[in-house]
Chain A
Amino acid sequence: MPSSAATMTPQGWLRTQSRWHPLEIAFWLATLLPFVLFPDYLSLASQIAITALFALSLDIILGYAGIVSLGHAAFFGIGAYSAGLLAKFGWGEPLTGLAFAAAVAGLVGLAISFVIARFRHFTLIMITLGLGLLAFEAANRAHWLTGGSDGLQGVSMWPVLGLFKFDLYGYTAYTYSLVVLFVVFLGARRLINSPLGLALRGIRENWVRMPAIGADSQAHIRKAYTIAAAMAGLAGAVLAQTTESVSLESISFQRSADVLVMLVLGGAGRLYGGLIGAIIFMVARDQFSGIAPQYWYFWIGVLLVTVVMVLPNGIIGGLSHFYARWRGK
């Protein structure tokens, strides 16, 4: 539409961006397929939905605002422990648990965002790595509260809305995770196609020039970081509630690295990048779970090197590139 671009207002452009593509509707309908096709794998499907939500939260700050974070699992873990502890100490209502976990993670995120917004490049990478490791050590040392390396046990959830108990087969777990993912996705989609979303992309492209057109980079980064932290906290809370336990792994560097891999594999800076990446990563890990984890990471490494060298915009970026060329011919 190059001819109409000249007359298009910013509001009009954002409106065309937020129109639903048929492929998107197909994608969300396809998320219902596991109920029919793979009823034995609903726990895995639930794990995938949770991981996709986590990847989506990283996408907001990394893909859109260009803030590299090596410690994003801190917020996932904070959300998981908040929800788990709340349920352990007597309040097992899932939805208020979610709200509580998101609020705690969001508040911590807001506090940290004042640090994050001031730095770029290597210093930023090191600070996020350091904060992530600090969170891990704190959870590890606070054995009396979190159970340390034994994990948090004794979490018991009440039925969702008082009606649906978390069952052994994962029907409730997958439905619950999927609904949370979809609702948060709608919010993220709205955010990305809003003026704030545009500002974030501007910050990613040039951090210094954005203030010159009247957009306060630091304030935007603080907002986006807080939102992303609350989203990651939600993902952690859903994991804690559906599995009724929290392991130390949920706050580890490994989880931060894994989510980064997924997002980049799928395509950072695209709404569906994290979702597609999470599906591929989790299904592959499940299929290859027979091989020892240290060998599984060999293939992750190969994948990373290949994506960086060959597909700089991830799978979705590569596909849309070919699609655009095919349309152009």
Chain B
Amino acid sequence: MLPPVFGVLFDGIAYGMLLFVLSVGLSVTLGLMNFVNLAHCAFAMLGGYVSITLVNDFHWPFLATLPLAFLSAAIVSVVLERTLYRRLYRSSDLDQVLLTIGLAFISVAIAAYIFGTIQQPVETPALLRGAVDFLGLGLGKYRLFLVGTALVVTILLVAGLEYTRFGAQVRAAVDNQRMARGLGIDVDRTFAATFALGSGLAGLGGALAIEIVGLDPNFAFTYLVYVLIIVSVGGLGSIAGSFAAAMLIGVSDVAGKYYAPELGAFLIYLVMVAVLMWRPAGLFGRR
């Protein structure tokens, strides 16, 4: 029999995995183009609503909606990138912050208009309901599925960035954009593709998150704070950093809620400010 602390740890890891899928895209786009995209979680919310609509109104199985959540967020993000974002690549942080906060406001209002402000219920397949007994611990099947999915995503991402031509181009552009351009890499197109990939992952994360944290129009702001904390603590452009930071934040958030509920989110904000003051580029940041 394992003590209950392992159950908390497991929940924390599952939550951290979810946060990782939500945040890794932002980390890559911030590291690649230095673009502060505060609308990142709006794409996650889009994925969530696509999934919920397909399940509730069109009676699709939940798992089949996940690829569509990914695709819809990726497509919408690339349209916005081509029309709005790309004009501000050389602008100040402030302009980028304002544009993307504006987009996040719009997304919240549209979601509230279409779906109302209430929490959306989602029906997960019977396969993922209930818990598995493991040495006396009840491990939620859905959480196991979440951990598995996040691990698959991580492996695909790391392998894709390490061993493919596209990955090599992305890494080159992150390391030295001017040199990459000089070598004939189309940095703009690389960025558009990376941006779509990152937003798509956010969309997938949004769909996966419904079962754990629910979905309402404020998702775009509630989770933005978590995502930004992970990205800044982990270091811009670092997948390993995002992963470590997501685990840290996930476990400490869940543990904090179990053992010190009166602290609330205080602990996490404090961790973020402290880490940034100690290492302004994040734990794994290079700059």
Q: Is the CB of B273 within 8 A of A312?
A: no
Q: Is the CB of B266 within 8 A of A303?
A: no
Q: A294-B112, A298-B106, A304-B102 are in contact. Are A134 and B93 (CB under 8 A)?
A: no
Nearest CB on B from A256, distance (A): 11
Count of A-B contacts with CB under 8 A? 117
Cα–Cα distance between A115 and B273 once the two chains are bound (Å): 10
Cα–Cα distance between A264 and B102 once the two chains are bound (Å): 12
Contact of A134 among B103, B228, B262, B266 (CB under 8 A): B266
Q: Is the CB of B84 within 8 A of A305?
A: yes
Q: Is the CB of A123 within 8 A of B108?
A: no
Contact of B270 among A66, A125, A134, A260 (CB under 8 A): A134
Among B98, B236, B265, B281, the most chain A Cβ lie within 10 Å of the Cβ of B98
Inter-chain contacts of B66 with A (CB < 8 A): none
Inter-chain contacts of B202 with A (CB < 8 A): none
Q: Is the CB of B225 within 8 A of A126?
A: no
Cα–Cα distance between A312 and B107 once the two chains are bound (Å): 22
14 A-B residue pairs with Cβ-Cβ distance under 8 Å, sorted by A, are A68-B93, A68-B94, A121-B93, A122-B93, A126-B272, A126-B276, A130-B276, A141-B263, A294-B112, A295-B113, A298-B106, A300-B102, A301-B103, A305-B102
User: Which A residues are within 8 Å of any B CB, using their own CB?
Assistant: 62, 66, 68, 70, 115, 118-119, 121-123, 125-127, 129-131, 133-134, 137-138, 140-141, 257, 260-261, 264, 268, 292, 294-295, 297-298, 300-305, 307-309, 312
Q: Is the CB of B98 within 8 A of A304?
A: yes
Q: Is the CB of A134 within 8 A of B273?
A: yes
Interface contacts beyond A300-B105, A302-B102: sample of 8 additional A-B pairs, CB < 8 Å, sorted by A: A129-B225, A130-B273, A133-B269, A140-B264, A261-B98, A292-B112, A294-B112, A295-B109
Cα–Cα distance between A295 and B111 once the two chains are bound (Å): 10
Q: Is the CB of B98 within 8 A of A264?
A: yes
Q: Is the CB of B266 within 8 A of A304?
A: no
Inter-chain contacts of A301 with B (CB < 8 A): 101-107, 109
Inter-chain contacts of B93 with A (CB < 8 A): 68, 121-122, 125
Name the residue of chain B whose CB is nearest to the CB of A294: B112
Name the residue of chain B whose CB is nearest to the CB of A132: B269
Inter-chain contacts of B123 with A (CB < 8 A): none
Q: Is the CB of A115 within 8 A of B102?
A: no
Cα–Cα distance between A121 and B84 once the two chains are bound (Å): 21
Nearest CB on B from A123, distance (A): 4
B87 within 8 A of A: yes
Cα–Cα distance between A297 and B107 once the two chains are bound (Å): 9
Nearest CB on A from B32, distance (A): 13
Q: Is the CB of A297 within 8 A of B109?
A: yes
B139 within 8 A of A: no
B76 within 8 A of A: no
B176 within 8 A of A: no
Q: Is the CB of B106 within 8 A of A130?
A: no
Inter-chain contacts of B99 with A (CB < 8 A): 304-305, 308-309
Cα–Cα distance between A196 and B109 once the two chains are bound (Å): 42
Q: A122-B36, A137-B266, A301-B106 are in contact. Are A115 and B95 (CB under 8 A)?
A: no
Cα–Cα distance between A101 and B265 once the two chains are bound (Å): 27
Name the residue of chain A whose CB is nearest to the CB of B96: A308
| B window 244-282: CB within 8 A of A | 262-266, 269-270, 272-273, 276-277, 280-281
Cα–Cα distance between A79 and B105 once the two chains are bound (Å): 28
Nearest CB on B from A176, distance (A): 33
Inter-chain contacts of B108 with A (CB < 8 A): 294, 297
Inter-chain contacts of A304 with B (CB < 8 A): 98-99, 101-102, 105
B209 within 8 A of A: no
Nearest CB on B from A243, distance (A): 26
